[in-house]
Amino acid sequence: MSLALAPLDVSVEVEANLPCRKFDPDLWFSDSPTELELAKSLCGDCPLRVECLSGAVERAEPWGVWGGEIFERGAVVPRKRPRGRPRKEDLARDAALRVEAEARLAANGLATRSAVRLAA
């Protein structure tokens, strides 16, 4: 049995230019918030970003960076927080980032609450 990782019409050249294929795959599944932000930024120019995000939402990916968004427990989170109690300014920034994440999902046609669950 073979699992398809990309659409069949994607050439080998395009696949070689995908950031998740060029860089260490562990970057997209890191525990470090800084490394996850780096992975998100690398996804920005990916030609399969929208398809990757759409597939991750459909599969309710449990964790990792997919299509430029961070998934945690099957939900899109604006950023991964480090361990410990969050500071008040971090909570305010998280609220603003949550709105930004919803806008990015809406821009990709994935804004309905039934299509994706955003973590609080």
65-114 per-position pLDDT tens digit: 999 999 988 888 877 766 667 677 777 887 888 888 888 888 877 754 44
Q: Does residue 12 fall inside a structural domain?
A: no
Find out whether 52 is annotated in a ligand binding site: yes
92 is in an annotated binding site: no
By residue range, what is the domain housing residue 71? 19-114
Number of domain units in the chain: 1
Is residue 1 in a domain? no
To the question of whether residue 43 is assigned a binding role by annotation, the answer is yes
**Given the structure tokens 């603003």, which residue do they identify?**
96
Whether 22 contacts 28, CB under 8 Å:
no
Residue 5, domain member (yes or no): no
> To which H or E segment does residue 64 belong?
strand 63-66
Indicate whether 67 belongs to any domain: yes
> If pLDDT is split at 50, 70 and 90, which confidence band does 45 have?
confident
CA pair distance 12, 14, nearest whole angstrom: 5
